[in-house]
Amino acid sequence: MDLGLEGKRALVTGASSGIGEAVAELLAKEGVSVVVNGRDDNRTRAVAGKIMADGGWAAAAVGDLQSDEGCAAVAKIASDAFGGIDILVNNAGGTVRGDNASWDDLDTQDYINSFKINFLAPTWLARHFAPAMIERKWGRIINMSSVAGRQRVGTMHDYGAAKAALENWSLNLSSNLSPHGVTVNSISPGMILTEGAQTFLETLRDQLGWPNEQAEMERRWATDLFPQTIPRLGQAREIAAAVALMASPLSDYTTGAVWRIDGGISRAL
């Protein structure tokens, strides 16, 4: 299927690995010129280099998005690389602590740090890129949320709160931008097997006394700890496919939506 993305320009944040890397590579295969953002210089440039080696167009925008200054630096690189951005994929984010902290062990700074990368960075980048999208009468802002933003899980309180805020903001922003041809949507993944998810699984293994076997750790997550109707963890390529469709002109009629891709873990509308 031709998604109609040939010649579009995208910035994918947090694209040096995991979901972001898969998104950047798939968009490039669809003919999109992709700016790959990440904090690690070597890994970010490696992803951009791989895209170029495979025949696509890519540029690296190395930088940390946890401050206005960092966002501004990345935005400038992205704008200069291909003369503008048509598709903004706010994928950078995640838990800021890797120890699965209990609610009473999280302090104010933990919440601030989580909101900086999971919520405030997307708002800054949208403010920067949306005006030109409005002028061109076409654009896409796709925000990566999480099922943690809607579910009662008893953990990841800082992360879940930031993702809930991101979804509400996305819905509100869609009402402002969609009349100008710029759609704003969210994707809400479940547990996707990335490096970060692997580290979290191993933390749970140590905390809960799980066997040190990959298949068993995944099974216990998907059937015992947070039961899903599809008893496995998700793959980054499955999220990338959803992003590509949402970025496509074929999705012109979709805005303010949250697309859950979570293996059936969600138990509410």
Q: Please tell me the distance from the alpha carbon of residue 60 to that of residue 77, in angstroms, as a whole number.
A: 8
d(C-alpha 168, C-alpha 58), whole Å: 31
Angle 149-39-128 from CA coordinates, rounded to 5° = 70
The SS3 of residue 50 is: helix
CA angle 37, 6, 245 (to 5 degrees): 70
Say whether 159 is catalytic: yes
Q: Write the burial class of residue 119 (CB in 10 Å: 0-12 exposed, 13-18 middle, 19+ buried).
A: buried
* β-strands 182-189, 258-261 pairing: parallel
E-state strands within the chain: 9-12, 33-38, 58-62, 87-90, 139-144, 182-189, 258-261
| Residue of 159, 200, 221, 259 marked active site | 159
Question: Position of tokens 């062990």?
Answer: 105
Q: Among residues 140, 149, 162, which one has the least CA distance to residue 242?
A: 140
> Which sign does the torsion angle of CA 47, 53, 55, 57 carry?
positive
Active site residues: 159
